[in-house]
Amino acid sequence: MRLAGVSCLVALAVAVHGCVDTSPVDYRAPIDDGGLSAGDAQVEGGLIRACGDCMATSCADGWTACHAEPRCAAAADCWLERYCYNIDTANLANLPACFLECAAKADIRSQDDPVVPQVAVLVRCAQRPEVCGPVCNVK
């Protein structure tokens, strides 16, 4: 009898559960970014390769760990191909569309995605002036 009562309570709680949706949104970034990205003359001139080489050597641990995880690798390579590590992480308004498109392509929909810490290591590596900033963070 008591068990039945508790079961009813749980059922009620489950019913309430459906009230508010707290799942992450399926965000699709806009197409046009307007920033320096793949296709610009300066980028075609070798910055992409230099940036990739720098991260693979200067941040080898992070690079290797990321490429062991398919989603992380997809995002990291996409950002590199589109020269999209040159973001301002302190300013959401300046996040270029390519950055968010690559994240979406790698199925990274939320900042608490388990992959985010891995890609964050590479983003910071690419941004720091003392590491790969000079070749990856050219704006």
Partner 1 sequence: MTRPAQTRWFLAAMAFAAAARAEDMSDIRSLLDEHVVTTASTTAQSASAAPAVTTTITGEQLQRHGVRTIAEAVNFLGLGVVTGDPLRTPDIGARGVLFLNDDGKHFLLLVNGHAINDPLYGAARFDQGAGVPIELVDHIEVVVGPGSVLYGSNAMLGVVNVITKDASAYKGGHVVAEYEPGRSARAAAGAGFTFKLFGAPSEITASVEYYRRFGPDLSFAYRDYTAALFGPNFSYTFGNEEPGPNVWGGTLNRAYYSEAPSGMIRFKSGDLEVNVMASAYERGIPYATVPWPVTFDDDGNFELDRALRLDAKHRATLSRLLQLSSRAYADGHDFQRRATLPGRYCLLPAEYCQYYDAGRSRWVGVEERMSLNWLGDQSLVTLLGVDVRQRWVSAKQDVLDADTGAYLGPTAGHLNASSLLVAPYVQQTYSPTAWLDLNGGARLDADSRFDPVISPRGAVAVHPWSRTTMKVIYSEAFRAPTWAETSLANRVVAPSDGVKPETVRSVEGSVEQGFGTQRLLFGVFATRWDGLIEPTELTPARRAVLEATGRLPIFVNSTLVEYRNVESIDNYGWNGGFDGSMYEGRLRYGANATAAVTHLRDRPSGLPASPRFFGNARISYDPGGYLPAPALAASLIGRRTADRPIPYSSIPLPSAPITLELRLTLTGRVPGVPGLSYRISGDYISARRGPYYAGPLLPMNSVSFEARVPGSPLVPPPEAIPVDQYRVFFGLRYDFATGSSADAEAP
Binding site for partner 1 (CB under 8 A): 2, 5-6, 8-10, 12-17, 19-25, 27, 89-95, 100, 103, 108-112, 116-121, 123-124
Smallest distance from partner 1 to CB 80, Å: 16
Residue with smaller CB distance to partner 1, 28 or 49: 28
Smallest distance from partner 1 to CB 133, Å: 14
The closest alpha carbon to 84, from 37, 131, 133, 45, belongs to 37
Residue partners of 92: CB distance under 8 A and separation at least 6? none
Residue with smaller CB distance to partner 1, 13 or 41: 13
Give yes or no for a contact between 48 and 98, defined as CB atoms under 8 angstroms apart: no
Smallest distance from partner 1 to CB 109, Å: 6
DSSP 51-72: HHHHHHHHTHHHHHHHHTSHHH
